[in-house]
A and B are shown apart, each in its own frame.
Chain A
Amino acid sequence: MATASSFSVRAILEQAREYSRLEMERRVQESELRLKSLESALTSLMELRDRERAVLDMLKYLLSPIYTLPAELLAEVFERAIDAETHIMDVFRVSQVCSDWRQIAHDTPRLWTRGISVTLDNKGDRREQAHTDGWKAWLARSAALTIPIALRLESADICHDLLGEVLKTASRWRYLRLDLPDHGLTLIRRLAQHKLDSLEGLDLEDRDFIEPLGGVIPSFTTAPRLRKLRMGIYSSLPTPILVPWSNLTDLTLHHCPTPDLALDVLAPCTGLAMIIVRTSGWLESVLPRSDTLVLAHLDALTFVLFGDAKHFTPFFGSLSTPALQRVCVDFAEMRTTEHWTEARFTAFQLRAPNITWLELLYADLTSDDFAAAILHAPSLTHLKLFRCSCFDDTAITALRYEDGVAPLAPRLNCLVLEGMLHDVSDDILASMIASRWWTDTAFASRSDPPVVARWTHVELWYDLSEHFLLKDIPSDILITSTRSYPYETVYEFK
């Protein structure tokens, strides 16, 4: 057989010119057979080569360092590679690398327990079965572990197969968020009938559920672990659901039409540690209720006012919260100026002597109101004011520490002042801040130590960094800036 190097088409051509036609046809057949045989051999060789390559790769993999990692360690690494936002894609990706990794991922239920959002609407096409099968397989992977789940529905047309699969896991729901249309009470009623043994949090968002008269109120009172609830209250009718109120520790009420209604809902919630109430105030001045509501375990209270009603302090006048530490009052959504009744807020503070964090947002109180609020918060360590009219030179001076004078807020060490509405004097502000700061050396040399705390954090939306009174305060303690922040960050202390 001619090799590639000795092969000459011209030589073969010269030789073939001598052949008879019959001889040529015979040689053509022979050549075609030879070619077929060669191609077959080549295919076999290529298969052998690919097989050998796979064996080599496999051997290399078995020798590779990653193969030495024990399965439980790989599972730990997988878990760390999964982000909350992309967890479904992430866990699929690691489980689709090789059969070993797939097995490990499938044998590690905790990888499949991040929050999921299931859309229950019937898509009405051939994808429906695949959709249901996909969720069924996903939910099965978390085995017996609890899961946070959100159920979404936009129309009245539910995919019942999918709902059936989802409901099979109801006893494993740790958090349940329901994003349902206004007529969603029927579905809520159906969900509430299931054993919700693991349910710790229920989020009804801020929907206004429309209930036909005489409808049965969905009851979650058999959810023994339920502690957290978020719901909207839109009318003076009873709440759209029943829960084990006295077991709740965290409650968020949206759109409460009146503070009275909020107080009615709060009344049976004697175990609350955190409340967020978004409500309008009263249109007219009212007296606090005669029956004070005692929330003995309440640690954090956020009160957000909206709308036109401007009287709100009777809400506080009706509360007794001896363990309360953190208070935020936010007037940002009011369309009018609130009526701050100092005496009633003071009465509330006297029944809440342990407040350490106070945030006031868009509060329209006088510097006297402010001074009274600070005076009655003797444990205060953190103060944040955002766009509050009270913060003027008088208020700043009230916070200034002087030796021998009983100070306001002696434990205050964190101060955030943002978006002041009045002009304040740089010197007065700097002087107040400097009065509550000293270096370690200065402290050691004092015969009578100051009776106020030293700043741990001061944040101002003013550039006072060059002020001579503040030059000793380190830049990680005193942060001055003229930049603006997105609204979302307004709530947070550093």
Chain B
Amino acid sequence: MVLLVTSDNEQFQTEKDIVERSVLIKNMLEDVGESDQPIPLPNVSSSVLKKVTQPSTGPTEIDVRGRYLSTASTTVESPSRPPILEQSQDETRKRTTDISEWDQKFITVDQEMLFEIILAANYLDIKSLLCRRWLQDGSQHDQGARPPEEIRKLFNIVNDFTPEEEAQIKKENEWAEDR
């Protein structure tokens, strides 16, 4: 077990394998070795830490509505397929099959808490919490980003483009469709 101390001075006894999802904490533990000393987390409040260290069976993502997503990914190595030269950005022979399903017992948090969690995840270096479904429709995989107007509506973002920028965007989109 590892003792964590949050910004509001609450102490948390947390299992090592859970806290080691944080690269920051993992590195700290490696640096100090086995120790009973508490690890201070001055940028993380207790309410946020509770969410971030939510136990799960696999990496946990959190979606735009603050729903936790449990994922379990398997990586299948193919010894004999030739996709080495394909354009995949990961440039490996590994094919990742995402078999995740939405956790039905999701936890709902408001958007403010969601962003606090994201900031904490960034501070703690828990990349899996920086969910790609944020900007995607969380109900399906691999369907790309939401349209800009949907993203604006979701996050109260103002369209502040000048007419010149709007014209440039229009040209971009025409090219993207026609290329």
Contact = CB atoms under 8 A, between A and B. Distances in A.
Interface stretch (A9-17, A65-73, A180-188, A479-487): A65-73
Contacts of B130: 73, 76-77, 80
Interface in A190-229: 200-203, 228-229
Contacts of B151: 93-94, 97
A203 B87 CA distance: 10
A134 B136 contact: no
Contacts of B36: none
Given A230-B85, A491-B80, A493-B79, A127 B178 contact: yes
B111 to A, nearest CB: 5
B102 interface: no
A201 B86 CA distance: 9
A261 to B, nearest CB: 18
Interface in B77-125: 77-82, 84-89, 91, 95, 111-112, 114-116, 118-119, 122
A76 B123 CA distance: 13
Given A77-B130, A276-B80, A328-B79, A98 B156 contact: no
Interface residues of B, number: 56
B84 A250 contact: yes
Interface stretch (A41-49, A54-62, A461-469): A54-62
Interface stretch (A81-89, A281-289, A308-316, A392-400): A81-89
B131 interface: yes
B79 to A, nearest CB: 4
B171 A66 contact: no
Interface string A89-117: 11111101111011000000000011111
Contacts of A137: 172
A83 B179 CA distance: 18
A66 B151 CA distance: 11
A78 interface: yes
B28 interface: no
A471 interface: no
Contacts of B132: 77, 80-82
Given A86-B144, A98-B160, A302 B82 contact: yes
A491 B95 CA distance: 13
B176 A89 contact: yes
A230 B82 contact: yes
B112 to A, nearest CB: 5
Given A64-B155, A326-B80, A491-B81, A80 B144 contact: no
A274 B111 contact: no
Nearest to A174: B91
Contacts of A401: none
A327 B151 CA distance: 49
B158 interface: yes
A69 B79 contact: no
Contacts of A77: 118, 130, 132, 134-135
A96 B179 contact: no
Given A80-B134, A98-B152, A98-B159, A252 B85 contact: yes
A69 B147 contact: no
Given A90-B144, A92-B173, A494-B76, A69 B118 contact: yes
B32 to A, nearest CB: 27
B146 interface: yes
B74 to A, nearest CB: 8
A134 B175 contact: yes
Contact of A175 (B76, B87, B115, B178): B87
9 shortest interchain CB distances as A-B pairs: A115-B87, A134-B175, A80-B132, A65-B115, A86-B144, A81-B135, A328-B80, A203-B85, A326-B79
Given A89-B145, A492-B95, 5 more contacts: A57-B156, A80-B131, A84-B89, A89-B176, A133-B175
18 contacts: A66-B156, A69-B119, A81-B144, A82-B132, A83-B144, A84-B88, A86-B145, A91-B145, A93-B148, A102-B161, A117-B87, A149-B87, A177-B86, A203-B86, A491-B81, A492-B95, A493-B78, A493-B79
